[in-house]
Amino acid sequence: MNKRAIGRKTANLQGCAVLLIAVGAVAFLLWRNAQPQVQFVPPLPPTAAPVQGTIVVVDNSLHSVLSGPVLEGMTLMPTYALPTYLTPTPFTPEPAALIDPAQVPVAPTLVPTRPPRNLPTSAGVTAVPSPAPLNVVGRNSNPRLGQWSLPPEQVPMSRDLRDHFYFRRPVDSNANSSSLSYYPYGSNGPEGAWRVHHGLDMPNPDGQPVRAAGDGVVVWAADHYRWSEEGVTDGAESYGNVVIIEHTFGYEGQRLFTLYAHLSRIIVSLNEPVTVGQIVGLSGHSGNVTGPHVHFEVRQGQNFYWTTRNPLLWMAPLLGSGVVAGRVLYRDGSAVEHAPVTLSQGGRQFDTTVTYVNPKRTEGRNHDVDGDDKWHENFVLGDIPAGKYDISVLVNGTRITRQVEVQAGTTSFVDFNTALTAASP
């Protein structure tokens, strides 16, 4: 067979092979199209519910699918319901509940147990008003601004044999029970122009309940206070409405009295028995004053203006606090009067007071205030948180400093008499 014939034969065979491959491909496609379609759609990652008014774009790309649960074996992690945490509601103390004095009937004025007689009258209280401006509030409490006092210690309490914290405070813990720092017991005011103070002034608005500091019997409940006993009559007509309680307990054989002055209303009656904490009146500004407050006195032995004692040594201090009392004497033993006393801590002033003006002396009866029978102090600072302090007194231009450690519920005493090298002229 010649070469031409062989070439034609080879070409025919190649054409047949191409035709067979084409027929086989067509047959495979026909068979494949005849099979049912099975489509697998892998689950998509959970998508947050769309927020109303927004458009959420879901990524269904291959990268998104492969990076989702498919690579985790199609097993979704179980979900757990988290507990609901509720933020606790902060505690808000109730504000001081004031009573409208106009809605309280005035107690009838009765004859006192010891009726006044025609007896010599002592000098009594001067007509100088007791300063308590409306905008003055004590250091530890202003409920209108969300400030609250700690409650006082329980009474009676005497952690030192010389202590006698027998009385509760005459106002509640949600009222102001701090006295005016610039007019403390035994002071005659910053400029020395006021009467010597025989008690504590606690600024409070009209209508604050005033409570009995201890059990006893009401021996005065009226305006224009005048008292006669043992041939002496004294009075305090500038005190306005006054309640005086003679207590059913005494101190070392002596009677004890507490006085509540400048009341807007008197709620108890003469000779009425009262218990500690009972409301006896409402705070106010009756009498000769410049603003509403509670004037509180402690009297020992007799119910006289001249037998008062510093109430800070008789009413329980606040929880965690104590009292600082002290004595400042000249070299000859005479008392230093109206000397500034400063209590500081870490170089910062914490509280101030002054030494007593015209205190009782061994000679004569002409005096304004008495020191305590046990402490014999001539200055007191109350409600001082427990801790260590510096205390200084300024005498004739010379400052003398001591250290004092205050302990809760008791009195810490500081004696400055050895620090003075020269007597006052």
Q: Chain centroid to CA 131: how far?
A: 24
R_g over Cα of the chain:
44
What residues contact residue 235 under an 8 Å CB cut-off, 6+ apart? 121, 124, 125, 224, 225, 226, 227, 305
CA 12 → CA 16, 23, 57, 377, distances in Å?
6, 17, 60, 140
Distance of CA 289 to the CA centre of its chain: 26
Q: State the pLDDT at residue 333.
A: 86
Distance between CA atoms of residues 376 and 36, nearest Å: 113
**Best CATH choice for the domain 321-419 from the list 3.40.50.2300, 3.40.50.12280, 1.20.120.530, 2.60.40.10:** 2.60.40.10
Say whether pLDDT at 13 is over 80: no
Tens of pLDDT, residues 79-95: 545 444 444 444 444 55
At residue 201, the pLDDT reads 94
Per residue in 132-146, pLDDT (tens digit) is 333 333 344 444 555
In single-letter form, the type of residue at position 66 comes to: L
325 DSSP β-pair partners: 380, 413
Q: For residue 27, give the DSSP letter.
A: H
**Residue of higher predicted confidence among 43 and 258:** 258
SS3 66: helix
Measure Cα distances from 236 to 59, 139, 219, 240, 358 in Å: 91, 28, 15, 8, 19
How far apart CA 293 and CA 285 sit, in angstroms, is 6
pLDDT tens profile 226-263 = 888 878 888 887 899 999 999 999 998 899 999 999 99
User: For residues 294 and 310, what is the distance between their CA atoms, to the nearest angstrom?
Assistant: 15
Whole-prediction pTM: 0.69
Sheet holding 387-395, edge to edge: 348-354, 340-345, 387-395, 398-406
